[in-house]
Structure formats: C-alpha cells, structure tokens
Amino acid sequence: MIIASKLKKPHYLKQIIYNDYRGNLVEVPFKKSVKFNFKKCITVTSKKNVIRGLHFQKKFPQNKIIFVVKGSINDFAVNITKNSKNFGKIYNFKLKTGEALIIPKNFAHGYSSLAKENIVIYFLSKGWHPKHESGIIWNDKFLKINWGVKKPILSKKDSLLKTFLEI
C-alpha cells in the first residue's frame, strides 16, 4: 500500500479503465492501493497552452493527487526540501485522460495543458491557504523546464512568481 504522506517523490497511479461503445469508466483504486485522506477537491479546466504553476504552500504543505479527467498535460514536480539529497530534482510525467499522479508535500507542482480542452481534478490533503502560497516562475533559468508549449498562457500571478534560487 502507498502511504501518500510517506512518499519522497511523485508516484504514478495505475488506473483500471473500462471502455465500450458509450465511452469509458475509470477507477482509481484508492482504497486498495493508496492511503490518502483529502480535505479539499478542486476541478480545473484549461485551454491548450495554459501553464499552471509551479505552486506550493510554505505553511500547510499539501500532498496532492492529480487526476486527468479530460485531455493531456505535461506535469512537473520539483523537490523543494532544502536538506534533501534530491533538492531541485525535477520529475516529469505526461498524463492523459484517466491517469493520475501523487505529488508529495514539499514539492512545487505545475503543468502545461496540451489538448484543446483539459480537465484536472486535484485531491488535496490540506486546505488552500492563499496567504501561504508561493511558487517558482515557469521559465526559471536554473530549472530549465521544457513545458512543451510554444506560446504559454499564464495568469498574472504565475507570471510574477520568484525564481528557484530566490525561494
């Protein structure tokens, strides 16, 4: 069993997908394979070329399960635990409809939207605390993340985030 609060790096979750002529049914077997208590569930829709992140909360850090309901995303998690041997390590996953990922607390997280329409559900172990949220600028020169997007669409807040070295 995977215990989300004990993970040291992101972990891909295998789903069970049933397809037929009507569409599909996706089962993420949380109860059988993952111990994860969530306090908040958020649904996010994004157009193609949207970049969200890299976000984290300084106080009240969150474990996250990212589940792609529709579309495809290029997902990134950066280890921001200063005393970790993997400090600054970037984990990258391409996720499509029906795929999920666990992101441990103390990771900055973000993704780029690759399909025309993308719907992502976040399951969060702690609530959202805007006063304690922070992030790393998407085009950080130290991290050099290739988001796979030519003309990124960003929120004003995300375009003003700090560099990795500043955090």
Given the residues 91, 109, 111, 122, the one annotated as active site: 122
Token readout for 134 is 């922070």
Q: How many CB atoms lie within 10 A of CB 155?
A: 11
C-alpha distance from residue 13 to each of 16, 32, 148 (Å): 10, 12, 23
Q: Is 21 a catalytic residue?
A: no
Q: Give the CB-side neighbour count of residue 18, counting CA atoms within 13 A.
A: 4
Given the residues 55, 91, 109, 111, the one annotated as active site: 55
Q: Is 109 a catalytic residue?
A: no
Q: How many CB atoms lie within 10 A of CB 86?
A: 12
* 90-96 vs 100-103, strand pairing mode: unpaired
Active site residues per annotation: 55, 122
